[in-house]
Amino acid sequence: MMTEKIRVMIPEKELDSRIEEMGKRISEDFAGEAVHLVCILKGSAFFVCELAKRITVPVTLDFMQVSSYGAETRSSGVVRLSKDLDEPLNDKNVIIVEDIIDSGRTLSHLVKLLGQRKPRTMSICTLLDKPSRRVVDVEVKYTGFQIPDEFVVGYGLDFDQKYRNLPYIGVLEFDKQEEES
Ligand code: IMP
Ligand code: MG
């Protein structure tokens, strides 16, 4: 029987202090202005809340959900919008908030799509980055942690919709256990 085990990669305290720093940097970079955080559901929901609480300039929030098309069209970076934003982006300092950047396909498509909506500025903020997996180049302004190519869960990230609620980032490991007779 296979059992799933989680090995802690980034403990809650480290996430806290890094997100605190990120919020501070964003607040400095946009001093005297406001920021509009675009949260990419569902994975970024936990991160965006922690980040927003630590930003000291005025913050507005919006949410969108995307999903990749089937395997064939995936390489073209085409993603389907399953929930669009509620508000227009024109004249806003948009910060796209992601949980993790892997191939970069999702984000590069989003940048094109949202860029057409005439934001004043647009930047990308991600909690995690797996640079070794990148296929499409995307410019990321704020990165929490660069991590090796391992499948991680927690802090919003899921495996089969599970583990999003873990307060830390963990590596999912599969343990082979002897069948009990
Ligand atoms: P990309 O288009 O390949 O950059 O896809 C990024 C998306 O893949 C993220 O928003 C996650 O939903 C998912 N993803 C990539 N790596 C992981 C992981 O290690 N754990 C959980 N989800 C992941
Ligand atoms: Mg995601």
Q: What are 134-167's pLDDT values in tens digits?
A: 999 999 999 999 999 999 999 999 999 999 999 9
Per DSSP, helices labelled H in the chain are 12-29, 45-53, 71-74, 105-115
Question: Does 115 map to a domain?
Answer: yes
What is the pLDDT at residue 180? 55
The count of structural domains within the chain is 1
Q: Are 156 and 47 in contact (CB under 8 A)?
A: yes
User: Which residue range(s) make up the domain with 130?
Assistant: 11-148
Task: Supply the pLDDT for residue 124.
Answer: 98
Secondary structure element (H or E) that encloses residue 147, with its range: none
In a domain, 158, yes or no: no
pLDDT in the model for residue 178 = 63
pTM of the model: 0.92
For the chain, list residues with pLDDT below 70: 68-77, 177-181
CA of 157 to the centre of ligand 1 (A): 8
CATH code for position 115: 3.40.50.2020
8 Å CB contact between 57 and 31: yes
In a domain, 167, yes or no: no
Q: Which residue of the set 16, 86, 102, 129 is catalytic?
A: 102
Determine, yes or no, domain membership for 181. Answer: no
Is 95 part of any domain? yes
Position 96 in a domain = yes
- Whether residue 91 lies inside any domain: the answer is yes
